[in-house]
């Protein structure tokens, strides 16, 4: 069962730090883009790793390997923890209560009545159409039989014999 929800807490100190950090990063990116535009042609060769001295390249490659290992470890941890969290959350949910609430909200009984009525009337209409087609087929068949009896006998044919 899910505990009754109380009032939701307002923003925390961590939210203030995250919001301020995001604002600072955005402002610094704009400032850097504007301020570095004149020196970009000079800095471009320096930023390329192939122009770095060997010890710096090796340090960067080591950092890249460590970052990739950390990401792989994070993915492994996520794959281990996520199923446990999902099962725990689903165990805590009142799925029957949620289903009842959804049924009440969408008025499922009325939807069933409406759709059943339309299906029933459609079925009756189809049965009538089929009965009319069968009636037409019987009428054609009977018409052929009775029309054949009304035709005059061919010349030289004696009906008594």
Would you say residue 93 lies in a domain?
A: no
Q: How high is the pLDDT of residue 69?
A: 94
CA torsion 66-70-71-77 (nearest 10°) is 160
Last residue of a domain, one of 34, 51, 68: 51
Would you say residue 40 lies in a domain?
A: yes
- The average confidence (pLDDT) of the chain is 80
Number of folded domains in the chain? Answer: 2
Would you say residue 121 lies in a domain?
A: yes
- Rounded Cα gap, residues 35 and 56, in angstroms: 26
Residue 41: which domain range?
19-51
- The predicted model scores a pTM of 0.36
Q: Which range among 13-27, 68-82, 103-117 shows the weakest confidence by mean pLDDT?
A: 103-117
Is-contact 51 45, C-beta < 8 A?
A: yes
């Amino acid at each position: 069962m899910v505990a009754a929800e109380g009032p939701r807490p307002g923003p925390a100190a961590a939210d203030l730090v995250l919001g301020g950090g995001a604002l600072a990063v955005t402002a610094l990116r704009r400032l850097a883009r504007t301020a570095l535009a004149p020196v970009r042609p000079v800095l471009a060769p320096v930023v390329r790793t192939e122009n770095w001295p060997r010890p710096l390249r090796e340090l960067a490659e080591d950092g890249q390997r460590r970052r990739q290992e950390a990401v792989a470890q994070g993915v492994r941890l996520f794959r281990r923890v996520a199923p446990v969290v999902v099962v725990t959350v689903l165990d805590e949910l009142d799925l029957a209560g949620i289903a009842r609430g959804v049924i009440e909200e969408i008025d499922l009984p009325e939807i069933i009545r409406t759709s059943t009525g339309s299906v029933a009337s459609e079925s009756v209409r189809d049965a009538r159409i089929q009965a009319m087609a069968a009636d037409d087929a019987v009428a054609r068949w009977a018409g052929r039989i009775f029309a054949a009896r009304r035709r005059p006998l061919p010349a030289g044919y004696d009906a008594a014999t």
